[in-house]
Amino acid sequence: MSTESLFAIVVLLGLLGIAVVGDLRNHRIPNMLILLGLGLGLAGQVYSAELTGLGYGVVGMFIGFAVFVPMYALGGMAAGDVKLMAMVGTFLTPHEALSAALLSLVAGGVCGMLIVLVRGQLKQTLQRYWLILTAQAYFAPEADEVAGKPFPYSVAILSGTLVSLFGLPLGL
């Protein structure tokens, strides 16, 4: 791994760490952090590979955005999460961006299931999903059901990105 790549990963993980802290504290990811990250990611790509790097950064950004925007459109995540994943993509190659985005979705599912388990609502949640499958209709979560409440998805984005970079990149 080159010095430039290592530096870019450290910067990316620092930005993700700041996003996680803000998301946990305020349930928001500041737009200024996203803009700073977009600029740093694209600048780093240009520095390391010139025009090709810029292309990688832009395509990576669109991949991160495109993978997450359907979840936003369906009401399953906030706009800040979509923008954060797009920012992550600017630091990565297109292949790495796709891997990080998909693994972040998996991490989000794991986080969601852990929250359901910790809150003791597994039976209630499974019953609602069974009803959805059998009736082929959507049933919104009850007011007291944790499955209907948002959680700081930046944690899943950080987790998926870490696994993609250091643990289990998808062989797409």
Contacts of 57 (CB under 8 A, 6+ apart): 41, 42, 44, 45, 46, 89, 90, 91
Cβ–Cβ under 8 Å, residues 29 and 154: yes
Q: Quick check: 59 pLDDT over 80?
A: yes
Instruction: State the pLDDT at residue 31.
Output: 97
Tokens of 107: 């991490």
Q: Alpha-carbon distance 27 to 16, whole Å? A: 14
Q: Quick check: 44 pLDDT over 60?
A: yes
Greater confidence, 105 or 150?
Answer: 105
Tokens of 61: 């950004």
What mean pLDDT do residues 103-127 have? Answer: 93
Domain boundaries, the chain: 3-167
What mean pLDDT do residues 47-67 have? Answer: 96
Q: Alpha-carbon distance 41 to 12, whole Å? A: 8
Instruction: State the pLDDT at residue 140.
Output: 81
Longest dimension (CA), the chain: 55
> pLDDT confidence of 142, banded at 50, 70, 90?
confident
Instruction: State the pLDDT at residue 145.
Output: 86
pLDDT digits (tens, 9 = 90+) for 67-84: 999 999 988 899 999 999
